[in-house]
Structure 1
Amino acid sequence: MKFRKASAAAAAAVALAVTATACGGSDSGGGDDKKITIGIKFDQPGLGLKTPDGKYEGFDVDVATYVAKELGYDAKDITWKQSPSAERENLIKNGDVKFVVASYSINDKRKKEVDFAGPYLLAHQDLLVRADDSSITKAEDLNTKKLCSVTGSTSAQNVKDKLAPKADLLEQGGYSECLTGLENKAVDALTTDDSILAGYAAQKEHQGKFKLVGLKMSDEKYGIGLKKGDKDLQAKINKALEKMVSDGTWDQLVQKNFGPANYKNEPAPKIEETS
């Protein structure tokens, strides 16, 4: 009887463990071996965009897909999770995603909460203007112009505080509103990272309408955010990024996603985040 009771208890324990594994498989950033959850932006053309038909496209999406494949996951194994700027650290720390690839600039404040792999892209703050506008060639030209950016943007404040204090700043809820204003001549320029601007300008409906001025008003090193202390994953992602550059894929992805905007990208940056 004692043997039978022990066997029953063991069987129950095994069943409970199997159930727990099944329940915890892919909802915590890809816990099982078959699925992985990756954080991206859903609303940034050229970087991370969820299209009306439910597909995902952009440079960040392509980079994330390449890295995932090097980690052993096919594209069909990926679950994409929307990762707004303000939520990226929480999603990583809570285990909702395995890693985040979302125009995620590496800085000291963020490194206190999460670790990074990379960088995989060096972007700069720039200006987007109408293609036929030759009156804006430097930041100081904005002193007599209307500048648009999103509410609370550090890019806009950088211009107002340091470069063109007399610029007429209009803040909108999103970059799309700024783009509409730029096209309709309600504003003269839009400012944020050049990679984001190139993504918008490269959209089919916008091709030929806008141009990047080509200023380098800041350095933004995009990294892949992951849970703090996960050095094994960091090393594996860095290895994947190095391979992506060496096999030519990185250049192909830049051209694919930003080429139509004549984006003059920097060369692939060297891996810096290793500890």
Structure 2
Amino acid sequence: MKLQKATAAAAVALALSLTAVGCGSDGGGDTGADSDGKKITIGIKYDQPGIGLKTPDGNFTGFDVDVATYVARQLGYDPADIVWKEAKSADRETLLQRGDVDFIVASYSINDERKKKVDFAGPYLLAHQDVLVRADDDSITKPSDLNNKKLCSVTGSTSAQNVKTKLAPQAQLQEYGGYSECLTGLENKVIDAMTTDDSILAGYAAQDQFKGKFKLGGFKLSNENYGIGVRKGDTELKNKIDAALEKMVADGSWQKAVEANFGPAGYKNEPPPEIGVVVN
């Protein structure tokens, strides 16, 4: 999407819309500027409870969904104008490069390799890599215990690379297409541990059907700076998204979204990161 230059009247309308405050994907509150029936396509995860989840009734929930909805509203799009598109970890750069989505909010960690292909607004959340194990498994208490264990992560994720190259080179890494597949393997004892960001793992552990079955290892294995991916060179859109994120923090909507999505799991989030500052 290339944002067109607005006429003077449209610019005034857009400025007025930026005073709207709202959070969440339910369409509540001021819906912002009139989008004249235009749509915006946003990539999110479909299988990450607490982050980005497509529910059986076809709705979308999670922190990334709330952030994306807020940002879209500041860009002049009602929640009804949003077209959600699944953005699996291995497909995110391709979706942006092909123009299949306008931007991506999908637990998308900023790193140097990805910045060669896409640009990032944000970051908007600082997470840490951790592991999820079965509640009755006391054999994994430190990162080195992952050696010779069957460890699951998702193809294309930074978590898989971190474990194999830095943390536990002897781990038997299993890379699946989605985190839900990893969780099934963990529940069925096909694998011993699942690794990704603590925010994602907390979302899984907090689901009603899994309460008491799993536990977080409590390892801060890496810093994961979540950014919003845009097409390389789309500085105008990147800057507008950054402004929306700053507003979301300032008006309290960011903290409300954190509490709504991660609070039930007792997730201890970091303070909102400073826009443009990546914590290594």
Cα shift at 1:234: 1.4
Aligned to 1:90: 94
- 1:48 pairs with one of 52, 74, 77: 52
Structure 2 unaligned segments of length 5 or more: list them.
1-34
1:145-200 deviations in Å (ceiling 9; x for gaps):
44333456552443244323344444444332332333344433211122221221
d(CA) in 1 for partners of 2:172 and 2:264? 30
Cα shift at 1:269: 1.0
- 1:59 pairs with one of 46, 63, 66: 63
Aligned to 2:8: none
d(CA) in 2 for partners of 1:113 and 1:144? 34
Q: Secondary structure, in 3 states, of the residue corresponding to 2:147?
A: helix
2:242 is the counterpart of 1:234: no
**Quick one: percent identity of the two aligned structures?**
73
For 1:75, give the aligned amino acid: P
Alignment CA distance shift 1:224-1:160 (3 Å): closer
**Contact 1:212-1:263 within 8 A present in 2 as well:** no
Aligned to 1:165: 169
2:157 is the counterpart of 1:116: no
| TM-score under structure 1 length normalisation | 0.79
Alignment CA distance shift 1:238-1:41 (3 Å): same
d(CA) in 1 for partners of 2:145 and 2:102? 44
2:39 is the counterpart of 1:35: yes
**Contact 2:129-2:219 within 8 A present in 1 as well:** yes
Q: How does 1:63-78 map onto structure 2 within 5 Å? A: 63-78=67-82
Structure 1 unaligned segments of length 5 or more: list them.
1-30
2:156 is the counterpart of 1:148: no
d(CA) in 1 for partners of 2:173 and 2:100? 37
Aligned to 1:197: 201
Moved >6 Å (runs of 4+) = none
d(CA) in 1 for partners of 2:149 and 2:112? 33
Q: Secondary structure, in 3 states, of the residue corresponding to 2:113?
A: helix
1:31-63 deviations in Å (ceiling 9; x for gaps):
976321111122222212212211111111110
Aligned to 1:27: none
Alignment CA distance shift 1:273-1:94 (3 Å): farther
Aligned to 2:266: 262
| TM-score under structure 2 length normalisation | 0.77
Please identify which structure carries the higher helix content.
Answer: 1
**Contact 2:130-2:219 within 8 A present in 1 as well:** yes
**Contact 1:148-1:170 within 8 A present in 2 as well:** yes
Q: Which has the larger radius of gyration?
A: 1
For 2:84, give the aligned amino acid: W
Q: Which moved more, 1:132-141 or 1:50-59?
A: 132-141
2:102 is the counterpart of 1:101: no
**Contact 1:127-1:214 within 8 A present in 2 as well:** yes
- Over aligned residues, Cα RMSD in angstroms? 2.5
For 1:195, give the aligned amino acid: S
1:216-269 deviations in Å (ceiling 9; x for gaps):
112211111112222222121111111111222212212222222222222111
Alignment CA distance shift 1:94-1:141 (3 Å): closer
Q: Secondary structure, in 3 states, of the residue corresponding to 1:37?
A: strand
Alignment CA distance shift 1:164-1:219 (3 Å): same
Aligned to 1:25: none
